[in-house]
Structure 1
Amino acid sequence: MAHGIARIGRDRFRTHIELGSHHLIADEPEVLGGAHAGPAPYDLLLASLGACTAITLRMYADRKGWPLESLEVDLQWRQEEDGPRVIRTLRVVGLDDAQRDRLAEIAERTPVTLTLLGGVSIDTYLS
C-alpha cells in the first residue's frame, strides 16, 4: 500500500512531500506565484506515469529476454477543449518493430495508466 504525506506552511506554495523514506519538494512556477523550488503537481503526475511506464516495459522486456538497450518515455500534459490529455511518446532502442509494437500495447495497460484512465475515488476526512 502506498502512503504519502504533503505538508505546506507559510512558504507560499512550497510543499514538502514524504513518501516512505523519500522526500520531495513540490512548488508552483514563478509565473503562478511560486518559487519553482520543485515540480508542480501535474509534473509529479506525469513523473508517476512515466516511471510506471518505464519500469513496466523494462520488466516485460527482461522477462521476454529482449535486448532492450534503452527506453525513454516523453510525456506532455495538454488541456484541450474536450478535457485534459496526456501525450506519451516511447523511444525504444534495441528492439525490432514487432517488439516495439508490443511494448506500445503493454504501455496502455500499466498500473498507473489504468488508474488514470479508469479514474479513482477519493475520500476526504478531517482529523
Structure 2
Amino acid sequence: MAVPAQVLASPAALEWIERLQAKHGPLLFHQSGGCCDGSSPMCFPQGEFLVGDSDVQLGEIGGAPFYMSRPQFEYWKHTQLTVDVVPGRGGMFSLEGPEGVRFLIRSRMFTEEEQRELEAAGRA
C-alpha cells in the first residue's frame, strides 16, 4: 500500500504556485508556527528561508518542498494538510501577500489504517 501524502494542494493553490514560480523561480513552503502571520503556510523563494535540523519535510506541492518545525509536526502528525488559496491579504513575508490572495491550511485526521501506514514508513 502507498503511504498517504502528508501534504496536498488544491487545484487553485497549484495554479498560484505555478504563477509564483514563473515570477520568482523555485519555491519553498514552511508552515508558520503562529508568530507574526498566525499559522499560515508561508511561501518563499528557495534559498531565502533556511530550513534546519529542527524542520521536517512533509512532501512537495507543485514541485515546492513543504516543511514545518519538528515540535509542530509532533502536534500535527496525525493530520493530512491541504494547502488552499482564498482571496485576502497574504502573510507579510509570504510571496502571495501582494497578490490579493493568501494560502491557508485545510486538514483532516488520518484514518487508523493511514496512521499505521505512516508509522510503518517512519513518517509519523
Q: TM-score range by the shorter chain?
A: under 0.3
Greater C-alpha Rg: 1
TM-score (structure 1 length as normaliser): 0.25
TM-score (structure 2 length as normaliser): 0.26
Greater relative contact order (CA < 8 Å, ≥ 6 in sequence): 2
By percentage of residues, which structure has more strand?
2
